[in-house]
Amino acid sequence: MVLDISKKVEEARSQVDEMDEDIALLKHLTGPDATFNWLVEDFTQKKADSASWIYSPPFYSHPNGYQMRLEMHPNGFRSGKASHISLGLAIMRGPNDHKLAWPYSGKYQLSAIRNDGEKFVKGKIDPSAEGDAQYWGKPCDESNKSYGWPQFIEHSKLPEYIKNDKMVISVTILD
């Protein structure tokens, strides 16, 4: 009897831990269009690690939605190599995948917040116009390839975005 109760208590604790993780992820979404703000700290060091991609914490497109993350290469990738920050959105494998429609089709925009508080919006991305399973299909691995801009912000303009060695990157899920 005691073992039965102990097992049930442990199962309940596990479920509570999972719910706490979900709540923590959802706390990052704000506003009517679901905006996630990523505070990138120690930017100078991250940029010095020239071969490094850095990843935001995972977040959801909406409650019970697609799990995602932002991916940034501070020294650029492809056409942005050595001259720009590259930034993209990646769809991750998540706990709700079995309930979601695939491929992902939600529009989104990527932006950065300037030191004066103004938002720089690079543009909107519509997965239905960019349709490719490597980006929008149900993930087979931890995450799909990210999709965004190799030339997101020029390095020469970084002082407009970096304050106290921190930068704020934002993604807004538009539908």
Tens-place pLDDT, residues 113-157 = 998 989 898 888 988 887 688 899 999 999 999 999 999 999 999
The one-letter amino acid code at 154 reads E
Which secondary-structure segment (H or E) carries 25? helix 2-26
10 Å Cβ neighbour count for 108? 23
User: What mean pLDDT comes out for the span 75-82?
Assistant: 92
**What's the mean per-residue pLDDT of the chain?**
86
Q: Does domain 2-173 have CATH number 2.60.210.10?
A: yes
The SS3 of residue 119 is strand
Three-point CA angle 68, 69, 75, nearest 5°: 150
Is residue 28 pLDDT above 90, yes or no? no
So what's the pLDDT on residue 18? 67
**53 or 34: whose pLDDT is higher?**
53
